[in-house]
């Protein structure tokens, strides 16, 4: 099978570390086959256009017979020679001889003639066949959908034997496979902004090429994800083959993404319907419902605490991966649950073999708050709040705790802080405070205690900071995270507040009095003259 051959310039990219003698023009010679050499006399009988590979025992480039070999190879019309790099270097006479004839001699640190010829010859003599084999292998491997992004990229890297990456539309590396230096990984994203919506080959500095293909089901449609492979210059045929392989892989990945989306949506709908069915029947839930709940890993019997999460997107569309992100953050915190869609958001519950203690419920609230803070940081503009229900037993207890969690969420939504979490117990305290601040003496005392701070800052920023600081156990770090400001900002504000208040916040009794006074003041302000609320941070 005869082809137009492959230039030496393209071919040397497949041999690793090397040196080419013969000058720049020698790289433009074309090889039509790669074969092993045997002895100097045999060189003249090798076919024209052959690239002959010699071991050191057959051809020592630092010795005089090397010049004879070069002259015979030129006379026979060979494309070039491959030999080992001599330890003492190539004589000047030999170098000049290769330059005189513009004849390429490729020097490698180590040469195994048989192995090298079997690797290079298919690329030279039958690139179409080699491409077909690679494509066939790619299709076979991609018939089994990837498990995730990492699996896809690593499979491609193993198949193509080259670094592969998955990047987003901004060029950010999401996954990498294959061995590549950090500088090379950066080069993987080169030219992304220029490729439009179609796959293409982009030339890179140093002679390599980046093959870039969009991961989308619809050809020509804009893509959020791109597959990129970095190739050494082994020939245009190889680059075209890799582009086809990436297109096949992109199709497989798109099918995987679509399948995952449908599966998640289907599971979420089934979970919501099952929970509604269980709550409707309570302790008389049907055996089939209990069986399905067991398959989902739900605990129906024991002592339950439900958590209701409410999400406000400010008019924008909710991210599809939001629930998955929350579930992953909960898993990191040691809570392995699946969120269930509810009319006011999403919910889950935690079940124990005993009633939850006050410390247990406080820990649930703390973990939930940390998860909500992480959500706020990962999805700017999304406001998430949560309510924690009381402890109740049995299947009906799930519904009771969910109802209480929903009420607590309503209270959390009145809080002027991000990632607010309210407990059922705190609702009782708020109702108790409501009765207190309706009494004139308590109300007057609270207002007089808080008045210096209110007069100093009518906007309410300082009072909001004070309430958050006291509600989070005087932690400046947590307060900063909840308010969405720098820790130094909280330290500065608390310094002003301490100078204004006529009490010592480090004294437990006085700190409690201030905390109650702040809540009393907020209740009075909401009833009589609600202050202007601050924008969410």
d(CA 304, CA 353): 9
Residue 185 has pLDDT above 70, yes or no: no
429 domain-assigned: no
Same domain, 22 and 90: yes
Whole-number pLDDT of residue 103: 94
Whole-number pLDDT of residue 535: 34
- Structurally, the chain folds into a number of domains equal to 4
The CATH number assigned to the domain holding 136 equals 3.30.450.40
Of the residues 195, 228, 256, the one at which a domain ends = 256
- Which of 50-64, 150-164, 488-502, 519-533 has the least mean pLDDT? 519-533
Whole-number pLDDT of residue 432: 52
Contact partners, residue 213, CB within 8 Å, separation at least 6: 199, 226, 227, 228, 243, 246, 247, 249, 250
Residue 141 has pLDDT above 60, yes or no: yes
Whole-number pLDDT of residue 532: 34
Residues 58-87: what's their mean pLDDT? 92
537 domain-assigned: no
Same domain, 176 and 231: yes
pLDDT band with cut points at 50, 70 and 90 for residue 423: confident
Question: pLDDT by residue (tens digit) across 114-138?
Answer: 988 888 887 776 555 555 666 666 6
Residue 82 has pLDDT above 90, yes or no: yes
What residues make up the domain containing 327?
299-424
d(CA 222, CA 108): 44
Whole-number pLDDT of residue 197: 56
Residue 74 has pLDDT above 90, yes or no: yes
Q: At what angle do helices 127-142 and 236-281 cross, to 10 degrees?
A: 10
pLDDT band with cut points at 50, 70 and 90 for residue 496: very high
pLDDT band with cut points at 50, 70 and 90 for residue 191: very low
pTM above 0.85, yes or no: no
The CATH number assigned to the domain holding 392 equals 3.30.70.270
The more confidently predicted of residues 33 and 255 is 33
- Which of 185-189, 302-306, 326-330 has the least mean pLDDT? 185-189
Same domain, 103 and 136: no
Which residues make beta-bridge pairs with 35? 52
Question: pLDDT by residue (tens digit) across 222-239?
Answer: 566 778 877 765 544 567
94 domain-assigned: yes
Residues 75-91: what's their mean pLDDT? 92
Same domain, 115 and 151: no
Residue 500 has pLDDT above 80, yes or no: yes
432 domain-assigned: no
Percent of the chain with pLDDT over 70: 75
Same domain, 327 and 419: yes
Same domain, 142 and 229: yes
Same domain, 111 and 133: no
Same domain, 53 and 76: yes
Contact partners, residue 211, CB within 8 Å, separation at least 6: 199, 200, 201, 202, 228, 229, 231, 239, 242, 243, 246
Of the residues 205, 234, 256, the one at which a domain ends = 256
Same domain, 206 and 152: yes
453 domain-assigned: yes
Question: pLDDT by residue (tens digit) across 374-398?
Answer: 988 888 888 889 999 999 998 899 9
534 domain-assigned: no
Sequential DSSP letters for 263-317: HHHHHHHHHHHHHHHHHHHGGG--HHHHHHHHHTT---SSEEEEEEEEEE-TTSP
Residue 407 has pLDDT above 70, yes or no: yes
Beta strands in 399-443 (DSSP E): 421-423
Question: pLDDT by residue (tens digit) across 518-530?
Answer: 877 765 554 344 3
Question: pLDDT by residue (tens digit) across 144-179?
Answer: 767 777 787 888 878 777 788 887 766 667 777 765
Residue 292 has pLDDT above 60, yes or no: yes
The CATH number assigned to the domain holding 504 equals 1.10.10.2840
Residues 14-26: what's their mean pLDDT? 84
The CATH number assigned to the domain holding 46 equals 3.40.1390.20
Same domain, 120 and 133: no
The more confidently predicted of residues 131 and 501 is 501
SS3 50: strand
Contact partners, residue 225, CB within 8 Å, separation at least 6: 166, 167, 168, 169, 174, 214, 215, 216, 253
265 domain-assigned: no
272 domain-assigned: no
Q: At what angle do helices 508-528 and 440-456 cross, to 10 degrees?
A: 90
Same domain, 381 and 325: yes
Same domain, 39 and 159: no
Of the residues 66, 97, 125, the one at which a domain ends = 125
pLDDT band with cut points at 50, 70 and 90 for residue 216: low
Residue 533 has pLDDT above 50, yes or no: no
């Amino acid at each position: 099978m005869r082809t137009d051959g492959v230039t030496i310039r393209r071919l040397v990219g497949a041999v690793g570390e090397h040196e080419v003698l013969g000058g720049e023009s020698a790289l433009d010679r074309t090889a039509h086959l790669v074969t092993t050499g045997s002895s100097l006399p045999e060189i003249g009988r090798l076919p024209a256009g052959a690239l002959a590979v010699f071991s050191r025992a057959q051809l020592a480039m630092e010795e005089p017979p090397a010049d004879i070999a070069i002259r015979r190879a030129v006379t026979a019309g060979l494309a070039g020679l491959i030999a080992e790099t001599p330890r003492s270097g190539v004589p000047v006479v030999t170098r000049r001889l290769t330059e005189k004839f513009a004849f390429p001699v490729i020097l490698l640190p180590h040469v195994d003639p048989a192995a090298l010829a079997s690797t290079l010859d298919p690329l030279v003599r039958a690139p179409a066949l080699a491409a077909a084999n690679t494509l066939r292998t790619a299709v076979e491997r991609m018939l089994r959908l990837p498990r995730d992004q990492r699996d896809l990229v690593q499979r491609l890297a193993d198949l193509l034997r080259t670094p592969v990456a998955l990047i987003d539309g901004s060029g950010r590396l999401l996954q990498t496979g294959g061995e590549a230096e950090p500088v090379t990984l950066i080069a993987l994203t080169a030219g992304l902004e220029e490729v439009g919506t179609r796959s293409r080959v982009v030339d890179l500095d140093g002679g390599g090429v980046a093959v870039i293909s969009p991961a989308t089901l619809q050809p020509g449609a804009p893509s959020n994800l791109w597959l990129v492979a970095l190739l050494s210059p082994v020939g245009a045929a190889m680059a075209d083959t890799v582009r086809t392989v990436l297109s096949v892989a992109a199709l497989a990945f798109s099918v995987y993404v679509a399948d995952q989306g449908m599966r998640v949506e289907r599971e979420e709908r089934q979970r919501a319907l099952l929970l509604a069915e269980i709550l409707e029947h309570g302790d008389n839930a049907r055996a089939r419902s209990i069986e399905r709940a067991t398959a989902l890993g739900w605990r129906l019997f024991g002592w339950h605490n439900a958590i209701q999460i409410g999400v406000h997107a400010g008019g924008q569309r909710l991210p599809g991966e939001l629930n998955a992100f929350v579930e992953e953050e909960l898993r990191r915190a040691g809570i392995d649950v699946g969120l269930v869609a509810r009319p006011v958001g999403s919910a889950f519950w935690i079940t124990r073999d005993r009633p939850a203690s006050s410390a247990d419920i406080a820990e649930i609230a703390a973990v939930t708050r940390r998860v909500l803070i992480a959500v706020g940081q990962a999805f700017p503009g999304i406001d998430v709040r949560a309510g924690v229900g009381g402890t109740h037993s049995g299947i009906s207890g799930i519904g009771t705790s969910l109802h209480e969690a929903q009420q607590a969420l309503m209270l959390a939504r009145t809080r002027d802080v991000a990632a607010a979490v309210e407990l059922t117990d705190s609702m009782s305290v708020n109702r108790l405070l409501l009765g207190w601040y309706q009494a004139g003496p308590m109300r007057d005392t609270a207002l007089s205690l808080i008045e210096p701070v209110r007069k100093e800052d009518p906007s309410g920023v300082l009072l909001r900071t004070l309430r958050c600081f006291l509600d989070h156990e005087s932690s400046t770090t947590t307060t900063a995270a909840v308010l969405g400001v720098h820790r130094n900002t909280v330290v500065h504000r608390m310094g002003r507040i301490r100078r204004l208040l006529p009490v010592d916040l480090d004294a437990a009794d006085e700190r409690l009095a201030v905390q109650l006074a702040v809540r009393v003041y907020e209740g009075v302000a909401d009833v009589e003259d609600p202050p202007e609320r601050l924008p969410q941070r």
